[in-house]
Amino acid sequence: MNKSDMINAIADSADISKAAAGRALDGFLETLSSGLAKGDSLQLMGFGTFSVADRASRTGRNPKTGEEMIIAASKVVKFKPGRALKDAVN
């Protein structure tokens, strides 16, 4: 499913226009991104939790030369699915 498929599905299920569904989806994604950038987490009961975690620096290898290199520390987005989502998938 891509973004336009998602917009169509939202518009059909909520009985709203595709333009309104697109604005709602864009608003959700923007709010989620800005909240995660601040270090907040988003918990949607039954669906799951989006959070930010720190990834430590580590040693890796350059695939082209095989030489060791340091991979810098970074922040990563994590998603932990809720029970209802797990049950729906299984």
**Percent with pLDDT over 70 in the chain:** 100
Using 50, 70 and 90 to split pLDDT, how confident is the model at 77? very high
Do 50 and 78 contact (CB within 8 A), yes or no?
yes
pLDDT of residue 59: 95
- Going by pLDDT thresholds of 50, 70 and 90, the confidence category of residue 4 is very high
Beta bridge partners of 79: 50
Overall number of domains in the chain = 1
Return the pLDDT at 70. Answer: 95
Instruction: Give the DSSP per-residue string, 3-14.
Output: HHHHHHHHHHHH
List Cα–Cα distances, 14 to 8, 10, 17, 18, 62, in angstroms: 10, 6, 9, 10, 49
Mean pLDDT of 70-80: 96
Q: What range does the domain containing 9 cover?
A: 3-89
**Residue 12: pLDDT band with limits 50, 70, 90:** very high
pTM for this entry: 0.78
Strands (E), 1-90: 42-44, 48-55, 58-61, 68-71, 74-81
Tell me, what CATH number does 67's domain have? 4.10.520.10
pLDDT value for 7: 96
